[in-house]
Amino acid sequence: MTARILSGKPIADAIKNEIAEEVSSIETAHGFRPCLAAVRVGADPASEIYVGNKVKAAAQLNIISEHHHLPGETSHEELMSLVKQLNARDDVDGILVQLPLPKHIDERSILEAIDPMKDVDGFHPINVGKLSLGYPSLVPCTPAGVVEILKRSGIEIAGRHAVIVGRSNIVGKPLAMLMLRENATVTICHSKTGDLPSVTNRADILVAAIGRSGFIRGEHIRDGAVVIDVGINRVTDVDAAHEFFSGDDLAKRLNTIAERGSTIVGDVNPKEVMAKAQAFTPVPGGVGLLTVAMLMKNTVTAARLRRNYEL
């Protein structure tokens, strides 16, 4: 068996096209465009790329975007003041504070200070509570992207057994709530789960979100399972590349390591899982491409919810 590759790009493109049409409709009917304010503190290179991608995506979809880049020595109080200013502005629909923040800033209190109606990351406790209760809310982007990939790829969720490896507040827990909403039977596994393969082998849909390179191997899945890889890890070791990849893909990965010093791999060992899975999301090129698209969708949803427009 060779797994069907569930590419994220065509799905992300379809969602972005839908968002662009919705933004145009909002502007025509109500005379405004949704606005996203992105806040970045310090000079973390990865954060710069992530925020840049989000601002660029907003511009492509005709969403107004603001990029507030603050110096690394910005105090907790100064960042809190900016968040409160953005909360108070009626023209701002979504607020994104890019993580990680410098160590002297309390991330939790900053995230909790964001107006829940503008919390496009879906991290605020009020939005977490609404998600668990099934109320309309802003949902964390990556879990929402996982559900979109499954549904738009024609993979049945209702009645299936979904096993999620990872219990983070960003992916594992909210994804469990979303899969329950779609009528799946859900099991969450984590670092303390005993005999992990015996649990994951019962999965119709297996989601890897544990943050360890190639952790999920052939022994962890049953033949014909759908495997969703949420992980993003950098591999610099050539031996590890041989362990995870084969054929043309291995050659490309080795070339990337030689040129850039590393290649990206998920939480799944693709060489082993591809031989057993029915379908599989690649890394890169899978779930990650949905995250920005779902952020844009949340921005439009926030604009509608705040103004009580029909969803």
Residues recognised as catalytic: 54, 98, 121
Question: Which residue in this structure is represented by tokens 């057993």?
Answer: 276
For residues 172 and 208, the answer to whether their CB atoms sit within 8 Å is no
In angstroms, the Cα distances linking 186 to 17, 29, 138, 234 are: 31, 41, 21, 29
Say which residues have a Cβ less than 8 Å from residue 265's Cβ, sequence separation at least 6.
Answer: 213, 214, 231, 233, 234, 235, 240, 244, 283
Question: Shortest CA distance to 5 belongs to which of 272, 283, 214?
Answer: 283
Other C-beta atoms lying within 10 Å of the C-beta of residue 112: 15
For residues 218 and 243, the answer to whether their CB atoms sit within 8 Å is no
In this structure, is the dihedral angle defined by the CA atoms of residues 122, 125, 126 and 130, taken in order, positive or negative?
positive
